[in-house]
Amino acid sequence: MALSYTPETESPEPDDAPGRAAFLFSLRSMFAPPAFLAESAWLEHIPFAFWTVAALRPQTVVELGVYNGPSYFAFCQAVAELGLDARCYGVDTWKGDAHAGLYGEEIHQRAQAYNDAHYSSFSRLVRSTFDEAAPHFSDGSIDLLHIDGLHAYEAVRHDFETWLPKLSDRAVVLLHDVNVRERGFGVFKFFEEIRRERPTFEFSHGHGLGVVGVGALQSEWMTRLYEIDRDADAGRAVRETFARLGRGCAEAFEARRWEEAAHKLRRALDESGAQLREASAAREAARGEIEAARAEGRRLGAALEASAREAAAARTTQAALAERAEATEAAFQKVRAALSETEREAIAAKAAAEALETRVLARLASLDELRARLREAEARRDAMADAAAEAGAQSETRVEEIVTLTKLLGEAETKAAATRRELDAKKPVEAECGTP
């Protein structure tokens, strides 16, 4: 929702308390809902931040001490939604201090990311000490300065005095924690001192916020605010209204936190529901398993009893077996003795057998020799028989030849005798012829 701005026209001249307060409330931007909420002690002053920006229409806004950013981004929101031609600077080391405590990098990262996403066209986060940042601002240039760093008296005084030359002639300074009086906070003391010299207004709610008119040329709206306490009722109405509106911002943050917590719880509840369903299913399954286990238990019990019975029987059997074993052992010992004896006899028998075998082998060897000799004799005999047969055959042939020859001889002798007779017959003739 855009902030509405009531221009600084001719101001009415309210002459009663409600009229004076209502005049201030005519800057309706104070009723806008905050866009950025985060953990902070400043939330209850967000409506007044909207109002101040509308009342002052600053060109340069500086905040010393940004931390999570609710105050700084409230100024930025007003600048953006009122369409002001302004520059905003948030200075912080984003390391923390003795009062805020030390914190991690994620605080700066979140603030930077939000600034980049929403206000980078006119807003810059300056990560440095306040003192290091101061020289980078021109004298007389800052219209709205919010001091919210370390809250010790010396620190606030130092910050105020360091930045004083930078303030314009219409500048307004806001001091947070003017209503804290413990843990070494000294803003209230510094505010008491400064309010003696300058126009101021003080809110007590939300740890207290001091408004100081520093420049000589304060706007009509700011002047009305500084002067509102001239009428106690009007001052109370202003304080109550801003306190109530501020409470709304704090409650919105609380509500958001509760919503987030509720969301987380819902998620956790859903998860728990799912887990419960899983657990129920698991329980059902477990029940089934238990039933099965019981049945198995009963079966095992029965088996156990049977086993016990068997074991008793087995023990009896075992005793009997032990007895038998003893008897067997005794018998075994006997057998073993007999066996030893037999073994000895066997060894002797084996020795005798070996000797016998040696003798038999010797006999067999001589038998083989005899057989060999026999085979040789038989071979000689067969050879001789063959020779005799051949000789017989030859002698028969000789006989036949002799017979033939004898026959031929007879024939030859016959012929010779015949011849001789013939010759004899012829011999006288030859002798007569002289033939030799």
User: What does the binding site for ligand SAM look like in residue numbers (CB under 6 A)?
Assistant: 40, 42, 65-68, 70-71, 92-97, 100, 129-130, 148-150
**3 state SS of 360:** helix
> How many residues are listed for the chain in this entry?
436
The residue (of 99 and 198) whose beta carbon lies closer to ligand SAM is 99
> Which of 42, 190 has the CB closer to ligand SAM?
42
d(CA 202, CA 205): 9
Residue 196: phi and psi, rounded to 5, are -70, -25
Q: Which is nearer to ligand SAM, 70 or 213 (CB)?
A: 70
- State how far the Cα of 53 lies from the Cα of 75, in Å rounded to an integer: 7
DSSP letter assigned to residue 68: T
CA-based nearest residue to 191, from 168, 46, 233, 204: 204
Cβ distance 143 to 156 under 8 Å? no
Nearer to ligand SAM, 202 or 231 (CB): 202
The answer for residues whose C-beta is within 8 angstroms of residue 90's C-beta and 6 or more apart is 62, 63, 66, 69, 72, 111, 115, 123, 124, 125, 126
Name which of 146 and 239 has its Cβ closer to ligand SAM. 146
Q: How far is the CB of 42 from ligand SAM (least distance, A)?
A: 4
Nearest to ligand SAM of 81, 148 (CB atom): 148
Q: Which residue lies nearer to ligand SAM by CB, 76 or 237?
A: 76
Q: How far is the CB of 68 from ligand SAM (least distance, A)?
A: 5
CB of 103 to ligand SAM, least distance (A): 7
C-alpha 241/C-alpha 174 separation (Å) is 18
Q: Using CA atoms, how far apart are residues 90 and 101, in angstroms rounded to an integer?
A: 19
Give the up-direction half-sphere exposure of residue 254: CA atoms within 13 A in the CB hemisphere: 8
The least distance separating ligand SAM from the CB of residue 134, rounded to whole angstroms, comes to: 10
- Cβ–Cβ under 8 Å, residues 28 and 52: no
Contacts of 5 (CB under 8 A, 6+ apart): 27, 29, 54, 82
Cβ of 68: how many Cβ atoms within 10 Å? Answer: 21
Closest CA to 178 of 167, 165, 168, 189: 189
Least spacing, CB of residue 186 vs ligand SAM, in Å: 14
177 vs 202, which CB is nearer to ligand SAM? Answer: 177
- Residue 5 or residue 73: which is nearer to ligand SAM going by CB? 73
**Least distance from C-beta 164 to ligand SAM, angstroms?**
16
In whole angstroms, the minimum distance from the beta carbon of 154 to ligand SAM comes to 12
Question: Interior CA angle at 78 toward 76 and 82, to 5°?
Answer: 125
Pairing of strands 87-92, 123-127: parallel
- The residue (of 58 and 70) whose beta carbon lies closer to ligand SAM is 70
User: What's the rounded Cα separation, in Å, for the pair 29 and 80?
Assistant: 12
Shortest reach from residue 40's CB to ligand SAM, in Å: 3
Who contacts 70 (Cβ-Cβ below 8 Å, separation ≥6)?
Answer: 34, 36, 37, 38, 40, 42, 43, 46
Least spacing, CB of residue 155 vs ligand SAM, in Å: 7
C-alpha 215/C-alpha 234 separation (Å) is 25
Q: State which residue, 68 or 179, has the beta carbon closest to ligand SAM.
A: 68
Closest separation between CB of residue 220 and ligand SAM, Å? 28
Shortest CB 70 distance to ligand SAM, Å: 4
